[in-house]
A and B are shown apart, each in its own frame.
Chain A
Amino acid sequence: MTAPTKTKAAPLAELKGDLAVLKEKFGDAVQPAEYEGVVIANDVLLEAARFIRDELGYRYLSSVTAVDYIQEGYFEVVYHAYRLEGGGPLVFKARTPRDVATVPSLVSVWPGADFQEREAWDLMGIRFAGHPNLKRILLWEGFYGHPLRKDWKEPYYEEEHKPFSSRWPSGHHIRAEDRVFWHDNVQYPLDWDPDQAEDTSDELLYIGMGQFARAETGELVEPRSLRTERLVVNMGPQHPSTHGVFRMVVTLDGETIVRLEPVMGYLHRNHEKIGERNMYLQNMPYTDRLDYICSMSNNLGYAIAVEKLLGIRPPERAEYLRVIMAEFTRIVNHLWAIGFLLNDLGAFFTPALYAIEERELILDLFEEASGSRMMCNYMRFGGVAHDVSDDWIARAKELVYNRLPRAIEELDRYLTHNELIKARCQGVGVLPPDLAVAYSTAGPVLRASGIPYDVRRAEPYSIYDRFDFDVAVRYNGDVYDRYLIRIDEMWQSLRILRQALDQIPKGEIQAGKKQYMIRVPAGQAYGRVENPKGELGFYIVSDGSPNPYRYHIRAPSFINLTALNEMCKGHKVADVVVILGSIDIVLGEVDR
């Protein structure tokens, strides 16, 4: 390790708690890291990971991500593992020199690391030795370079950090197209031959699926009179039921699914690269566009992560407003999710219309508070952007006490005991609890599998520790339970909302002055919140400048998809659509 430079402080002096146990067990292979956690040597990483999971009890791997410390010349892979009983994370890291860029894969210990490691390979160019399927995931096979490396420049690159001098303060702006060589958002390597231009990105995928099928039939050599042939079928990215531009490639045996591979990245909008050029506050509106149904709670997650670094808390009224907005968002999301689950079941649009009707009423409240229906951009570091009137509170109460309970009850009455729904949903897409944990699923998917894990309880943030509510949990882990749990959670959200709306005090809504450009002390923070879709985490590395050095989003929809293959195996094609609907993904968050 080279001497610490600007981006790094001195390592922690001593290790406490489980980190000390880890150090004792592995000796010099475990070294304290800067700010938080330990660095584990690559040769014992697998063993240490097993120890962490089995002996120390951190069974839930929440986030895997990588940071490019270009000045020090190494990549760092950061893991955050949690105990299911609750409490803080165990942070451990692995390092690899930039020119080697290989660390052992942890997929064998936590299958939930699968997509996250692929993402790190795709965007950062770190190889994970032993990964069963190390392909690009968000970009296409054949893309030139690994965009999140600090020395990789996008075609429209202007400067390292905003505000760009070309736009401010003199104020005029030259169009990006006019500034760049190609007059477009593209760049090509010098040694590339345009005459060979051919799209091979899909071929690889199909060949992969086909080979697998053949290999499998190879194993099943049994002289039978009736031979079935395997078929590779593509669904998406333009498909009416994939909730956006999501694509699945399935290998079929007859009509039964043998293997399913999600293909994503059709909405990869480069949140992280743009986020690292932005100033902290400029990222706030971008978080709206992650999971665009739940913009308010995305704001909350980001605000909490940065506040951790800043070491500030918002005033009381702002905390209440945050909780109120976040819980309203949960109801919005679950209504939407249930409406569209029914859509996927074939009840074309009618249930969705009912769900959207209630959603509109909540959006009206959001609009009044923040100025926008969908992209609220409402939270600030240490507060919220605007206060709400007493009239607003009164109308919110009217919704919470009268209108919404009626609507949820109505949904419940028409759907829950509906024979058709039961027939299509019960026993379909089952995810057993141990797999749900192993695949790092979160939110309703995890809780419907019988694991009562909710960040609001496990590691309370904001003021959730003051409210009286239950963590909804169901035990069958099928589509039906994932539907029921959303109904349960809406009831719990209403409970929280009632308490919050009754208790909300008067007062300030912003700690300190409103600031455009904040300076965040150097450090690393992982802030997570229980979003309607699951645990949303923001991993932020600050080097003390006005821009984040690393800005990573742990998106629940993305990681929940890791388990999709497991849920779909053995079911029919028609069920895939329903299973996907029950996971409730939003592509803005899957692809980021």
Chain B
Amino acid sequence: MDELRDLNTMPVPSELRNNVFVTTIDRFVSYLYNWGRKRSVWPMMFGLACCAIEMICAAASRFDIARFGSELMRPSPRQADLMIVSGTVTKKMVPQIVRLYNQMPEPKYVISMGACATGGGPFKEGYNVVSGIDKFIPVDVYVPGCPPRPEALLHGLLKLYEKIERQSVRAVPWYQRGESEAIPVPILGPDLIDPRRLPEIRARLAELRARQGASTETSS
């Protein structure tokens, strides 16, 4: 490996400049690897709300997502590389979304399509609406709009390509030692409960109770 690295800094004779392709194996492998997979990102067939209709239109003849190698919508998360969160994420639905995300094999990517998936959108105030899917799963590309036009979704896909292009085989999490951790599935209690926030919820509830106890004592 070290010689290869030296090669990188070694001066190349000017007559050879256009003939010799100087790189490291790592870069070269990453390039090939990314080049291969970026044009065959298979999305999961997964629609949530109105944005899903525009996603279907993006897959239909006029916009034709097949030009970008992503026309194979897989009904099963096990075969999908990309989750397009296309629509309003509700509290009742978010446990299933997290579960589906956990079921996808790595490498996996998420596009948050539309205002709702990104931050709650027009329904943000609603009591059953999650203010953005990124509170639960990591998002790679956000596509703004309500709904985003199919072109916008395709643009988001191209942005994802750029992201994929820049990944290095060495650094990507799925080739590291150990297993990657699943995201804890949210629970539906009296309201939506994020298990990662349980300690905080416990502490704050205690604080609230103490505060209320104090106020009833003073009033009585």
Query: Of residues 121 to 158 in B, which have CB atoms within 8 Å of A's CB atoms?
Result: 122-131, 135, 146-147, 149
Closest to B186 in A: A199
Question: Of B45, B49, B201, which contacts A587 at CB under 8 A?
Answer: B49
What's the Cα separation between A62 and B126 when bound, in Å?
27
Instruction: Assess whether B75 is in contact with A240, with CB atoms less than 8 Å apart.
Output: yes
Query: Of residues 167 to 206 in B, which have CB atoms within 8 Å of A's CB atoms?
Result: 187-195, 198, 201-202, 204-205
Q: Is A217 an interface residue (CB 8 A)?
A: no
How distant is B191 from chain A, measured CB to nearest CB, in Å?
5
Q: Digit string of B58-101 for contact with A (CB within 8 Å is 1, else 0)?
A: 00111000000000000100000000000110111101100010
Which of A7-15, A265-273, A449-457 binds B? A265-273
Question: Of B46, B87, B100, B190, which contacts A189 at CB under 8 A?
Answer: B190
Question: Of A144, A154, A189, A360, which contacts B126 at CB under 8 A?
Answer: A154
Instruction: Assess whether A184 is in contact with B50, with CB atoms less than 8 Å apart.
Output: no
Instruction: Assess whether A176 is in contact with B60, with CB atoms less than 8 Å apart.
Output: no
A356 touching B122 in the complex, CB below 8 Å, given contacts A198-B187, A244-B48, A268-B128: no
Q: Is A195 an interface residue (CB 8 A)?
A: yes
Q: Is A185 an interface residue (CB 8 A)?
A: yes
Instruction: Assess whether A237 is in contact with B96, with CB atoms less than 8 Å apart.
Output: yes
What's the Cα separation between A374 and B50 when bound, in Å?
9
Instruction: Assess whether A139 is in contact with B128, with CB atoms less than 8 Å apart.
Output: yes
A194 touching B201 in the complex, CB below 8 Å, given contacts A155-B127, A374-B53: yes
Query: Of residues 136 to 182 in A, which have CB atoms within 8 Å of B's CB atoms?
Result: 138-140, 142-144, 147, 154-156, 158, 176-177, 181-182
Instruction: Assess whether B56 is in contact with A156, with CB atoms less than 8 Å apart.
Output: no
Name the interface size band of chain A: 35 or more
Residues from chain A with a CB closer than 8 A to the CB of B122 are: 285-286, 289
Q: Is A192 an interface residue (CB 8 A)?
A: yes
Name the interface size band of chain B: 35 or more
Instruction: Assess whether B204 is in contact with A182, with CB atoms less than 8 Å apart.
Output: yes
Residues from chain A with a CB closer than 8 A to the CB of B198 are: 194, 197
Q: Is A330 an interface residue (CB 8 A)?
A: no
Residues from chain A with a CB closer than 8 A to the CB of B57 are: 356, 360
Q: Digit string of A16-58 for contact with B (CB within 8 Å is 1, else 0)?
A: 0000000000000000000000000000000000000000000
What's the Cα separation between A577 and B55 when bound, in Å?
22
- Chain A residues touching B, majority SS: loop
Q: Is B208 an interface residue (CB 8 A)?
A: yes
A375 touching B50 in the complex, CB below 8 Å, given contacts A177-B131, A185-B130: yes
How distant is A444 from chain B, measured CB to nearest CB, in Å?
20
Q: Is A392 an interface residue (CB 8 A)?
A: no
Instruction: Assess whether B49 is in contact with A267, with CB atoms less than 8 Å apart.
Output: yes
Residues from chain A with a CB closer than 8 A to the CB of B123 are: 269-270, 274
What's the Cα separation between A188 and B201 when bound, in Å?
9
Instruction: Assess whether B90 is in contact with A356, with CB atoms less than 8 Å apart.
Output: no
A156 touching B208 in the complex, CB below 8 Å, given contacts A192-B189, A201-B188, A238-B46: no
Instruction: Assess whether B209 is in contact with A190, with CB atoms less than 8 Å apart.
Output: yes
What's the Cα separation between A194 and B191 when bound, in Å?
11
Residues from chain B with a CB closer than 8 A to the CB of A240 are: 45, 75
What's the Cα separation between A329 and B64 when bound, in Å?
23
Q: Is A186 an interface residue (CB 8 A)?
A: yes
Instruction: Assess whether A154 is in contact with B202, with CB atoms less than 8 Å apart.
Output: no
Instruction: Assess whether B47 is in contact with A244, with CB atoms less than 8 Å apart.
Output: yes
Residues from chain B with a CB closer than 8 A to the CB of A199 are: 95, 187-189
What's the Cα separation between A267 and B49 when bound, in Å?
7
What's the Cα separation between A65 and B31 when bound, in Å?
61
A176 touching B50 in the complex, CB below 8 Å, given contacts A194-B193, A352-B60, A360-B62: no
Q: Is B120 an interface residue (CB 8 A)?
A: yes
Closest to B130 in A: A185
Q: Is B212 an interface residue (CB 8 A)?
A: yes
Residues from chain A with a CB closer than 8 A to the CB of B47 are: 244-245
Question: Of B95, B135, B191, B195, which contacts A143 at CB under 8 A?
Answer: B191
What's the Cα separation between A143 and B92 when bound, in Å?
10
Q: Which 7 residue pairs across A and B have the least CB separation, nearest first?
A: A270-B126, A144-B190, A292-B50, A154-B127, A240-B75, A356-B60, A269-B123
Given contacts A266-B90, A286-B122, A356-B62, 10 further A-B contacts (CB under 8 A): A142-B190, A184-B131, A185-B124, A185-B127, A186-B193, A188-B191, A190-B209, A270-B128, A289-B122, A588-B49
Can you spell out 6 A-B residue pairs with CB atoms less than 8 angstroms apart?
Answer: A181-B204, A199-B189, A238-B96, A274-B123, A277-B125, A587-B49
Residues of A within 8 A of B (CB): 138-140, 142-144, 147, 154-156, 158, 176-177, 181-182, 184-190, 192, 194-195, 197-199, 201, 237-240, 244-245, 265-270, 273-274, 277, 285-286, 289, 292-293, 352-353, 356-357, 360, 373-375, 587-588
